[in-house]
Amino acid sequence: MKRQIPLIITFIAGIVMIIQYFIPHEPFAGMQQLFNQWYLIIAAFAMILGIGNLLKIHSGRISRKTSGWGYSIVLLTGLTVMLISGLGWGIERGTFFFYLFWNLHIPMASTMFALLAFFVASASYRAFRARTIEATLLLIAAIVVMLSRVPLGGYIWSKIPFAGDWIMSYPNMAGQRAIMIGIALGTVSTSLRIILGIERTYLGGGK
């Protein structure tokens, strides 16, 4: 019964969503919007669950003084300060919450994002080492595309911008579309397996 009820709910919800795509008439019209609203309500309560989990795990780490418990203090302090300032004085522009969000959270998130530039450089170095024929082709294609995107490419040889566009528009686009077709079919196949109850690992266990 523990498995049956979720499977029945999944089947009914899946079939209803398929039907509403093809039948715009009531009672199916607006069904997607209704389901989305239900999802938002569940998501709101799940956030409470997430915060609860965060409090439980990190307060446990602090009380047990496990390695790295100092980070847990920072996390819980941040959580408490943001929660109190947001609930107490609102989150609009000019509030303490907004100040913290704008001057702490945004710069830290931007810093993490900015690290991407260095990681791209190190990853490119590894990928472009011409050890195999494939890697050499990748290296040549990358150089052509990079040069085609800057004025220097055109100065070196007027055909380089066209070569870069050709690589992006044909071999690259063909590859992307092939992957996209596979993804679309895989999505439908996975959805069907879940709706029909063939795939039920997401309910827990493997059978």
Partner 1 sequence: MTTIVLLTLLYLQISPPKDVRVFDTPNDAGGSITITWESSPDAEGYRILRMALPDSVYTPVDWVDAATKRYVDKVEDGVKYRYIIRTERGSAYADSEPTDEVWSHGNVFHRGRTNVLIGVAVYTTLLLSFIYFAKRGKKLFVRKIAGLDAVDEAIGRATEMGKPVLYIPGLSTISDVATLASLNILGRIARKAAVHGTRVIVPNRNPIVMPVCQEIVREACLDVGRPDVYREDDIFYITFSQFGYTAAVDGIMLREKPAANFFLGMFWAESLILAETGASTGAIQIAGTDAIHQLPFFITACDYTLIGEELYAASAYLSREPLSLGSLKGQDWTKLIIGGLIVAGVILVSFGSDWFLGLFSS
- Residues within the interface to partner 1 (CB under 8 A): 18, 21-26, 29-30, 39, 42-43, 46-47, 49-51, 53-54, 57, 60, 67-68, 71, 105, 108-110, 112-113, 115-116, 119-120, 122-124, 126-127, 176, 179-183, 185-194, 198-199, 201-207
> Between 151 and 204, whose beta carbon lies closer to partner 1?
204
SS3 content of the chain, % helix, strand, coil (to 5): 80, 0, 20
Query: What is the nearest approach in angstroms of partner 1 to the Cβ of residue 109?
Result: 4
> Between 92 and 117, whose beta carbon lies closer to partner 1?
117
Cis peptide before 27 (omega within 30 of 0): yes
> Between 160 and 194, whose beta carbon lies closer to partner 1?
194
Strand, coil or helix: 116: helix
> Between 69 and 154, whose beta carbon lies closer to partner 1?
69
Query: What is the nearest approach in angstroms of partner 1 to the Cβ of residue 163?
Result: 19
Burial 65-96 (b: 16+ CB within 10 A, else e): eeeeeeebeebbeeeeebeebbeeeeeeeeeb
CB 196 within 8 A of CB 8: no
